[in-house]
Amino acid sequence: MKKWLQLALKYLFRLILVIFVIIGVSMLGCSLPSLQGRSVSKSLSVEEINLTYLGQSVGSEQKRHPDLAGIYLLPDPRLAFAARTILAQDAEKTLDIQYYIWKKDTTGMLLLHALYEAADRGVKVRLLLDDNGTNGLDTELMALNAHPNIEVRLFNPFLFRPFKQVGFLTDFMRSNRRMHNKSFIADNSISVLGGRNVGDEYFGATDGVLFADLDNLVSGDLVQMVSKSFDEYWDSQSAYPIDLIVEPITQAEHDLVLVSLLQAQASPEAVRYIQAKEELGDLDEILKNQTLWHWVPTQFVVDPASKGLGIYDKEELILHSIAKTLGEPEHSLDIVSPYFVPTNSGTDYFVNLARQGKQVRILTNSMVATDVLAVHSGYAKHRKRLVENGVLLYEMKPEIGSKNINNVGFLGSSGSSLHAKTFSADMNRVFIGSFNFDPRSAKLNTEMGIVSDDAQLARDLDDIFKAEVPQSAWLVVKNPDADKLEWHDGKTGEILHQEPLSKWYQRWVVTVLGWLPIDWLL
């Protein structure tokens, strides 16, 4: 009966896809505008960088650490927000900003205000956002775009603004490709890179789901490579000036946006972020605090912008670059990935490593911690083979009932959902960036990150797996007496025999989705 139902669901899914394609073809009259005449701009040259305060400050440190990059970790969400506002405040020439999600909430509005203030000082601001993550922000972004020093572009935009999902019907193959990159570059000298989007849940300002995350300040010559990548995306055939996509706004709407940006500064929710900025100190203090900077050999890895249109060679993709720079693990491999869908080939890879006696540890979200059940379905089908072959597989717990969002570390708290994306090989080389270990990151979305020969950070990650992960996550184990999985709680010693804290309907949805041929979408 199960096989019959599974086969029926597969054919039903294919039928739905065919219907979507037919609907999409029937609506092809709505086409994207021409990019002819689009403005051209580039990041700062080396000569221009050297005329800025940031360029001079970073340049002096670069001279003391030739051929290395400066890495300053930002695991604390409030300080990660503060770092972005400080860069916006201290930039003199340019701010180049690229994000997958920018929300219309406290932190989102605070950062938009910071960009507007920078533009008022004469800073040229280029804001490139994936259009799937700009819901409800059309008016605000149009108001910013009206500033002579701000230009906003949307990556793979949707033409039907009231309900963007229609775009998946009319132009599925393009709309399904999203820009997942995240960078905040000031004067082509220093940048924030990592996994955080812009929104309250990423910066610890909500009592709902908190995405424990990790990103870092990066300084040195490497930043020029980040800026070069930004230029490529900015000039790509997927980046549309917002005024070609969104209807013009009235002067009254424009003025109302400016008022709302000012009001965001005075809101009670903004207080903790103003305090965080004071806590982190000014940029001069940050740059001079060399005890927190790791100057290490580092490579920037990024997908080509053409991946947003499905045009690329496999050797150009970030997965190839990560594998090449991390190298084949000789002793150990640690992976932290909130959306973990290894597929059959990935599972084979991890199993082979474990069978060779190499330690493989993986931390991902549990069913009740994830915010995408479909992704859990693509992961769950591979768990048994992983654990029965020696892979140590941990699933993040949510902290139920806690309202305290202060002092959140790498693993988060307060109903947290893991969102950090980092890999470590042989406790020596570390990746931090936007890449999830799933087919979507590998083949559909564009991604970016850095790979550093940072033994200290790798040891820190090892310490987390040894000390914190067993307390904050369930270890998935195969029952030796039955062909079933168990979840071991290292904190309480409790052994659970089904998905912890899950509801029957959640388990049912995951099971049914696991029967469908949708892994390539996850």
What burial class does residue 260 get, using C-beta atoms within 10 Å of its C-beta: 0-12 exposed, 13-18 middle, 19+ buried? middle
Q: How many residues does the chain have?
A: 522
The residues annotated with a catalytic role in the active site are 180, 182, 187, 419, 421, 426
Report the distance separating Cα 497 and Cα 489, nearest Å: 11
Q: Is the dihedral of CA 398, 399, 404, 407 positive or negative?
A: negative
Rounded CA separation 507/522 (Å): 18
Query: What is the rounded CA–CA span in Å between residue 454 and residue 294?
Result: 8
Placement of tokens 């970030």 in the chain: 318
Strands 215-219 and 210-212: unpaired
Question: Which helix (DSSP H) or strand (DSSP E) does residue 473 occupy?
Answer: strand 473-478
CA within 13 Å, CB half, 488: 13
- Let me know: does 461 contact 430? Beta carbons within 8 Å: yes
Give, in degrees to the nearest 5, the angle at Cα 181 between 242 and 348.
140
In this structure, what token pair is assigned to residue 277?
Answer: 């900025």
Beta bridge partners of 334: 361, 424
Rounded (10°) CA dihedral 163, 167, 168, 172 = 180
Q: Where are the alpha helices (DSSP H) in 211-327?
A: 222-234, 251-266, 271-280, 283-288, 318-326
* DSSP codes joined into one string, 358-421: -EEEEEEE-TTT-S-HHHHHHHHTTHHHHHHTT-EEEEEPP-TT----SS--TT--SSEEE---
